[in-house]
Amino acid sequence: MNKNIGWELYRSFLGVMQHGSLSAAARAVGSTQPTIGRHITELERVLNVPLFMRTQGGLTPTEGAKALVGHAQEMANVAEAIERVASNQGDSVQGTVRVTTSDIIGLEVLPTTLAKLGNQYTKLQLELVLSDKPQNLLSREADIAVRLFRPTQSQLIARRIGTITIGFYAHVNYLKQAGMPATMDELIQHKLIGFDQYTDYIRDTLNTLPVNLEKQHFSYRSDSNVAQLSLIRAGAGIGACQVPLAARDSSLLRVLADDLSIPMDIWVTMHEDLRKSTTCQAVFDALVQGLSDYVNK
């Protein structure tokens, strides 16, 4: 293979993989169905790999296509990152910055800080991606990340904000009906709200607790922290919540505070390539300040 392959061929391929047909891919990338079809044919010819099986039901990806799609997605991430970096060059704060964080931080903690940023810098555009994937920054899916774990990759700039305590809470209406648990044994008898799928982080956290909590103990299960918080607020049962977040609602009461306390560090991280971007630095600094105010309340 001695021919450079244009990005537009990979973009069309990725569009078909993501949207399932030539017509849907054309709409997604702003092209036409014949153009997308020509790109797929040309990419198959240059790579000498069949990418799709043509059937009456549409296009079915081959094993070769499945092997390539991750790399094509990384190319798309880099292409988008190039556009974002180009948009925020210069001495003024302008252009697009993509921030990624967990759903609970993104929906409950950051909106006030992001609103202030938008009001202060009218030419700034902010994209918020709710995800816990640690590889977001390295694959350039985002520019800045807020994480509840310490990043280990050497290519990242990381600022530790402080420690957030996770406690267990219930709505006052639930406790009026079910009673306040006084011991760990009593806690297990209550309706509990927790996770659905195990992760390494969840397993490590469970090992720090003085009670054996497993998936089967939860009456309500969700891997969304926002969904768990909504269930706590609705009086469904007892669940974990960040202490400074729960402090905003006087109807949420902490349960077994002396026994159930989980410390979590919060970090703001950015790819080191963006350290000279005035815009990214302004967003980074604002997130540090806003999260510091949240942690220290």
Which element (helix H / strand E) includes 75? helix 63-87
Does the pLDDT at position 297 exceed 70?
yes
Whether the per-residue pLDDT at 220 is higher than 90: the answer is yes
**Lowest-confidence region among 29-33, 85-89, 277-281:** 85-89
Of 65, 56, 62, 11, give the one whose Cα is nearest residue 35.
11
Cα–Cα distance, 297 to 295 (Å, whole number): 6
Q: Which fold has domain 7-80?
A: Arc Repressor Mutant, subunit A (1.10.10)
Tell me the pLDDT tens digit for each residue of 73-84: 888 877 777 777
Mean pLDDT for the stretch of residues 19-38: 88
Domain at 85-159+266-295: CATH code: 3.40.190.10
Spatial separation of the C-alpha atoms in residues 66 and 60, rounded to whole Å? 10
pLDDT at 139: 61
pLDDT in tens, 189-203: 999 999 888 777 777
Distance of CA 35 to the CA centre of its chain: 34
Cβ pair 155, 270 in contact under 8 A: no
Residue range(s) in the chain whose domain bears CATH number 3.40.190.10: 85-159+266-295, 163-264
Six-digit token string for 114 = 């992001």
d(CA 73, CA 82): 14
Distance CA 50, CA 61 (A): 9
Q: Looking at residues 13-42, what average pLDDT do you find?
A: 89
The residue length of the chain stands at 297
pLDDT at 39 over 60: yes
| pLDDT at res. 198 | 72
Provide, rounded to the nearest whole percent, the portion of the chain with pLDDT above 90: 45
Residue range 223-228: average pLDDT?
A: 93
Each residue of 248-274: pLDDT tens digit?
Answer: 999 999 999 998 898 999 999 988 878
Neighbours of 8 (CB within 10 A): 15
Cα-based distances in Å from 107 to 45, 123, 177, 277: 46, 23, 30, 26
For residue 263, which phi and psi values (nearest 5 degrees)? -80, 135
pLDDT at 159: 92
pLDDT at 242: 95
Q: 151-177 pLDDT, tens per residue?
A: 776 677 889 999 999 999 999 999 999
pLDDT tens digits along 56-68? 767 889 999 999 8
Mean pLDDT of 24-30: 87
Q: Which CATH architecture has domain 163-264?
A: 3-Layer(aba) Sandwich (3.40)
Listed range (42-51, 77-86, 114-123) with the worst mean pLDDT: 77-86
pLDDT above 70 coverage of the chain, percent: 94
Residue 5 has pLDDT above 90, yes or no: no
Q: Is the pLDDT of residue 95 over 80?
A: yes
What is the model's pLDDT at position 134? 63
Residue 24: pLDDT above 80? Answer: yes
What is the distance between the alpha carbons of residues 59 and 33, in angstroms, rounded to a whole number?
13
Domain with CATH 1.10.10.10 in the chain: 7-80
